[in-house]
């Protein structure tokens, strides 16, 4: 009777370890999927070590009660499942470690990189628009992102061939701005120029002044306020 109680107790401990390990694994994967891994690195490693300890405990229990019939089979099964999950989890952690190397910056570094890129592009666009104004005599007559891009890049009717814009205005001596296809909507140079978050850059021309800004990480045009990115 005493032996049965001990076996039941250790079976219970093994089951708890297994369930805890599975919860840890699922939680870690969810953290990764929702892009929170970089914010919870310490917690993630805590999950892993908890899982590792659980698998070791289960393995020891399986060894200790190897000859105890059904209870032993249950313990061994739980131990095997836990160890397999631990191995998968370890492989997943190695994958995350490799993918977090410089080729794949952490979320914070990635955000800083995108903000810096957006600021650089905004500055370049402002210079391009000033050159356009010097030649044409005024800024584009529209605030539409698509049409403004057409005016300063020279790509209009075709995404693959520069149009002779001087036919419409002999003072046009562009292109005033150029960028790779990937920086344009649907990767076509006669479409709107996109910021690092995939939103068109915003333009406003009034009182012979220009304003250029990115909608920023939240992808909402807030007229240059809040997280919008602009250059004074």
Distances in whole angstroms, Cα of residue 126 to Cα of each of 64, 92, 139, 156, 206:
74, 45, 11, 20, 14
Q: What is the pLDDT of residue 158?
A: 85
Q: What is the pLDDT of residue 13?
A: 59
Distances in whole angstroms, Cα of residue 157 to Cα of each of 5, 146, 148:
82, 12, 14
Q: What is the pLDDT of residue 118?
A: 94
Q: Residue 229: in which H helix or E strand, if any?
A: strand 229-230
Enumerate the H helices of the chain as residue ranges. Answer: 2-33, 41-64, 69-99, 107-136, 145-153
Helix, strand, or coil (residue 212): strand
Residue 152 has pLDDT above 90, yes or no: yes
Q: What is the pLDDT of residue 68?
A: 57
Helix, strand, or coil (residue 186): helix
DSSP state of 189: T
Q: What is the pLDDT of residue 166?
A: 78
Q: What is the pLDDT of residue 161?
A: 85
Where do we find the tokens 């304003």?
211
Q: How far apart are CA 178 and CA 176, in angstroms?
A: 7
Residue 101 has pLDDT above 60, yes or no: no
Q: How far apart are CA 8 and CA 156, in angstroms?
A: 77
Where do we find the tokens 């250059």?
231
Using pLDDT thresholds of 50, 70 and 90, give the confidence band for residue 5. Answer: very low
Q: How far apart are CA 100 and CA 107, in angstroms?
A: 10
Regarding pTM above 0.85, the answer is no
């Amino acid at each position: 009777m005493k032996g049965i109680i001990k076996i039941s107790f250790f079976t219970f401990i093994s089951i708890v370890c297994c369930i805890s390990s599975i919860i840890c694994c699922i939680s870690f994967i969810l953290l990764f999927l929702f892009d929170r891994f970089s914010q919870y690195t310490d917690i993630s490693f805590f999950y892993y070590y908890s899982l590792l300890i659980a698998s070791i405990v289960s393995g020891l229990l399986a060894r200790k009660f190897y000859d105890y019939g059904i209870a032993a089979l249950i313990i061994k099964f739980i131990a095997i499942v836990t160890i397999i999950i631990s191995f998968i989890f370890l492989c997943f952690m190695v994958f995350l470690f490799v993918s977090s190397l410089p080729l794949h910056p952490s979320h914070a570094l990635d955000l800083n990189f995108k903000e810096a890129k957006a600021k650089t592009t905004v500055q370049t666009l402002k210079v391009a628009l000033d050159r356009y104004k010097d030649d044409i005599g005024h800024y584009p007559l529209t605030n539409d992102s698509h049409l403004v891009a057409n005016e300063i890049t020279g790509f209009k009717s075709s995404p693959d061939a520069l149009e002779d814009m001087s036919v419409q205005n002999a003072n046009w001596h562009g292109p005033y701005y150029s960028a790779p296809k990937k920086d344009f909507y649907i990767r076509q140079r006669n479409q709107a120029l996109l910021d690092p978050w995939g939103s068109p850059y915003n333009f406003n021309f009034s009182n012979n002044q220009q304003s250029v800004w990115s909608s920023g990480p939240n992808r909402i045009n807030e007229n240059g306020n809040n997280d919008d990115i602009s250059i004074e």
